[in-house]
Amino acid sequence: VTAPIRRTAAMLAGHGFIVACPEIYHEFEPLGTVLAYDEAGTTRGNELKITKPVDAYDSDARAVLDYLKSRADCTGRLGVMGICVGGHLAFRAAMNPDVLATVCFYATDIHKKALGLGKNDNSLLRAGEIKGELLHIWGRQDPHVPLEGRNLVKARLDEVGTKYTWHEFNGQHAFMRDEGHRYDPALSRLSWDLLLELFNRRLGWDAAGRLPPEMKILSVGRGKVEFDAWRADIKSMLDAKFKSGYDQKIFERFIARNHYFANSADDPDAYKRMAETLGDTKTFPQNLAYFLSVRPTDFAPVVEQLSGVGLVDESKYWRRVLIEKPFGTDLASAQDLQARLTRHLKESQIYRIDHYLGKTAVQGIMLTRFANAIFEPLWNKDHIDHVQITNNEILGVGDRTTFYDATGALRDMFQSHLLQTLALTAMEKPKDLTPDSIRAEKIKLLQAIRPIDAKNLNKQAFRAQYAAGRVCVGDGHGENVAGYLDELKRDGIESSHTETYAAVKLWIDNERWKGVPFYVRTAKRMHEGNVAISVKFKKSPMQLNDSQHQNWLVISIQPKETVKLEIESKIPGLDIATRTLSIDAPTRQQGDESIDSYETLMLNLMEGDPSQYLHISEVEAQWKLVDPIVKTWAADKTPLLQYRAGDRDPKESGVIFETEDQFWRYSIELGGDKH
């Protein structure tokens, strides 16, 4: 596989496709052999091209397609591209019925029937077997495929009714190859645009090129809505979300997917009618995913109704049900919900969504750890002093006083988002990146967290409520805000012991993390909003003075997506002294794709990838950890400490720290650990 082909494969992979690049002469040359673009390499390539039997080329293509389909991260929507003789091989690979899109760049020898042993291939004869969409791109000045040869191929495609697009450019043979005198960057750019348009449309979702063409969306509501009125509503939602506009062609494709069904509460046959609607195979594919955007108390009743009319039966097609946190309010209610759901669903059908796990930066935690050789040797008790996981907000509870007072910071954020972040931060390396392997390591880590000692909770957990104060708002100006208890009184709630600040110290009982405290905190009305993982390393072997700074690694999730490493460096001059420097690596670069976390998770749902969803074992492990804290705090009616809105962590929260030299990092910026 030559360097230009490797770069082509990397370009495709960079657009979100899974790319396999086979060596076509593996039977004749040692693996890894590269035939150079010189006289000797060209001669050898031409010899092998007519030495290998045509059916061996075909079996290679089938093997690669089967490999891709076997991968857990593959949607099963297959495309093929090829250049030069590879263009001819792509043409033949397109004869496989599961290939939906094929791109052939100046494909040689199709018109001459000169591929393979005996130089008598049947490619044109079999052109009628191509069921997917074809894109042919040619160079008019290509001596290997002259005008009469191109016309012969085109005429055959017309004869058999192939769906194809045809482009001829004023270019030579190999104008796509980005080395050598024939390379034409302008034509190459045009060709890439054509390729991506086809692959995104046929293999991808809509805007990101990944939605299957036959996919439909059935929105279910209580009231009756006219078909055109519903689509107009969708357009108004999109107009509000994308104020700078959107691609009209993509919109037309997307809006055509949408349908509406009125599921009236007083209609006893509503679910039966919905089953009849979805059973229309001319309109709806039969692989179905349900997003239950309903109250948590309605999850089980809705699933029971769906099951009653056969809509979750997987005997012929897959059926998946998505539910959104909270998954119960404690361990007992979570297990009760699970029991009611699994009367009708297998665990593999249940997708428990936590939108937090769809954030690119959260998903990047694992790759930051395992894709960088410098971190893994240090990621253990021998080198790390402690770890802080933070989710702080400037915002208060707003209009959610009733909900929040019944929930609190611990159950709202700690039990779900933060424990999942901890699992990604501390888990062992999965054996591979399949959903089952990632989930298995997260579950193992959560189950290894030491149970809370409720009798000594005051040394392991801390809670407080925000009082009136002044916070920095979005435009940089200060704003006076009310305290939590005042907001509750405004809404008729006279008193509360619900925490808006929660900090917990956790221990992980395994060999890697023995003796390393994990400090997890979440709070509202803080001095700044940030979500980050801060890893403080132990003191260096060489200590120049008692106040020497310890190294920090900070993985910031929001508002900045960045990785920061703080190190010591010598100050230039005669004295031996150091200062702290921050190596900043923004993980989001200009031009990077920006996808909403819900979009990411919905795509995972459709692909059958549960790695970013919660397994019941994760839910149970998290509630087992949190329940003792909730129960102990609920029984303690002592008034909660008040911290002023807009301030840093209350100093009293330091009670959970193990040593005097441990303290909260209040900012991801350099100096954010000053005490």
Same domain membership, residue 174 and residue 32: yes
Q: What's the pLDDT score for residue 77?
A: 79
Is the sign of the CA dihedral 21, 27, 28, 30 positive or negative? positive
Give the Cα separation of 113 and 571 in Å (integer). Answer: 72
* Cα-based distances in Å from 244 to 238, 239, 240, 241, 247: 11, 8, 9, 9, 10
pLDDT confidence bin for 385, thresholds 50/70/90: very high
pLDDT confidence bin for 475, thresholds 50/70/90: low
Three-state SS annotation for 51-76:
CCCHHHHHHHHHHHHHHHHHCCCCCC
> Residue 501 domain-assigned?
yes
Q: What is the pTM of this model?
A: 0.68
Same domain membership, residue 257 and residue 174: no
- Cα 101 to chain centroid distance, Å, stands at 25
Q: What is the DSSP letter of 417?
A: I
Number of domains the chain is built from: 3
Tokens 């933070």 found at: 390
| Per-residue pLDDT tens digits for 65-81 | 999 988 877 767 799 99
Per DSSP, the residues of 573-613 read SSS--EEEEEEEEESS-TT-----HHHHHHHHHHHT--TTS
Helix (H, G, I), strand (E, B) or coil at 129: helix
Q: What's the pLDDT score for residue 288?
A: 95
Kindly tell me if the per-residue pLDDT of 536 is higher than 80.
yes
Q: Which of 383, 420, 672 is nearest to 538 (CA)?
A: 383
Whether the link from the prior residue into 326 is cis, omega within 30° of 0, is: yes
Q: What's the pLDDT score for residue 309?
A: 96
Q: What's the pLDDT score for residue 435?
A: 77
Q: Give the residue numbers annotated as catalytic, written as ranges.
A: 417
pLDDT confidence bin for 166, thresholds 50/70/90: very high
Same domain membership, residue 497 and residue 451: yes
Same domain membership, residue 326 and residue 414: no
| Per-residue pLDDT tens digits for 332-376 | 999 999 999 999 999 999 999 887 777 766 777 888 888 888 998
Q: What is the CATH number of the domain that holds 486?
A: 3.30.360.10
Q: Which of 460, 374, 379 is nearest to 425 (CA)?
A: 379
58-67 — which CB contacts under 8 Å span 24+ positions? 58/92, 58/93, 60/22, 60/24, 60/26, 61/22, 61/89, 61/92, 61/93, 61/96, 62/96, 64/20, 64/22, 65/93, 65/96, 65/98, 65/99, 67/20
Let me know the angle formed at the C-alpha of 663 by 661 and 665, rounded to the nearest 5 degrees. 130
Helix (H, G, I), strand (E, B) or coil at 87: helix
Same domain membership, residue 552 and residue 437: yes
Kindly tell me if the per-residue pLDDT of 596 is higher than 90.
no
| Per-residue pLDDT tens digits for 24-44 | 999 999 988 988 888 999 999
321 lies in which domain range? 217-356
Greatest alpha-carbon span in the chain = 91
Q: What's the pLDDT score for residue 595?
A: 63
Beta carbons within 8 Å of 515's beta carbon, 6+ residues apart: 381, 507
Give the Cα separation of 653 and 521 in Å (integer). Answer: 10
Contact present, 47 and 69 (Cβ < 8 Å): no
Per DSSP, what are the bridge partners of residue 537? 384
Identify the weakest region by mean pLDDT among 80-89, 256-265, 270-279.
Answer: 256-265
Strand order from edge to edge, sheet including 288-291: 288-291, 319-324, 350-353
Contact present, 149 and 111 (Cβ < 8 Å): yes
pLDDT confidence bin for 574, thresholds 50/70/90: confident
| Per-residue pLDDT tens digits for 490-522 | 989 999 999 999 999 999 999 999 999 999 999
Q: What is the CATH number of the domain that holds 342?
A: 3.40.50.720
Is the sign of the CA dihedral 418, 424, 427, 432 positive or negative? positive
Expressed in angstroms, the distance from the first to the final Cα of the chain is 56
Contact present, 311 and 275 (Cβ < 8 Å): yes
* Cα-based distances in Å from 231 to 254, 284, 485, 518, 596: 10, 17, 44, 49, 22
Q: What's the pLDDT score for residue 598?
A: 78
Helix (H, G, I), strand (E, B) or coil at 320: strand
Q: Which of 100, 165, 166 is nearest to 131 (CA)?
A: 100
Contact present, 544 and 578 (Cβ < 8 Å): yes
| Per-residue pLDDT tens digits for 189-247 | 888 888 987 887 677 566 555 677 788 999 999 888 888 899 899 999 888 877 767 67
Give the Cα separation of 157 and 170 in Å (integer). Answer: 22
Give the Cα separation of 662 and 385 in Å (integer). Answer: 9
Same domain membership, residue 248 and residue 191: no
Identify the weakest region by mean pLDDT among 75-89, 95-109, 112-126, 466-480.
Answer: 466-480
pLDDT above 90: percentage of residues in the chain: 63
Same domain membership, residue 7 and residue 155: yes
> Residue 20 domain-assigned?
yes
Q: What's the pLDDT score for residue 671?
A: 84
Give the Cα separation of 649 and 509 in Å (integer). Answer: 28
pLDDT above 70: percentage of residues in the chain: 96
Same domain membership, residue 387 and residue 514: yes
Q: What's the pLDDT score for residue 347?
A: 95
| Per-residue pLDDT tens digits for 307-335 | 999 999 999 999 999 998 889 999 999 99
Beta strand pairing call for 384-392 and 518-523: parallel
Q: Pick from 321, 356, 391: which residue ends a domain? A: 356
Same domain membership, residue 233 and residue 174: no
> Residue 670 domain-assigned?
no
Q: What is the CATH number of the domain that holds 9?
A: 3.40.50.1820
pLDDT confidence bin for 444, thresholds 50/70/90: very high
Q: Pick from 310, 338, 356: which residue ends a domain? A: 356
> Residue 669 domain-assigned?
no
> Residue 540 domain-assigned?
yes
Q: Pick from 176, 203, 230: which residue ends a domain? A: 203
> Residue 556 domain-assigned?
yes
> Residue 673 domain-assigned?
no
Same domain membership, residue 390 and residue 321: no
Chain-wide mean pLDDT for the chain? 90
596-603 — which CB contacts under 8 Å span 24+ positions? 596/358, 597/355, 597/356, 597/357, 597/358, 597/359, 597/360, 598/355, 598/358, 599/208, 599/358, 600/358, 600/360, 600/363, 601/353, 601/355, 601/357, 601/358, 602/291, 603/205, 603/210
344 C-beta neighbours (distance < 10 Å), count:
18
> Residue 470 domain-assigned?
yes
Same domain membership, residue 349 and residue 476: no
Same domain membership, residue 305 and residue 377: no
Q: What's the pLDDT score for residue 387?
A: 98
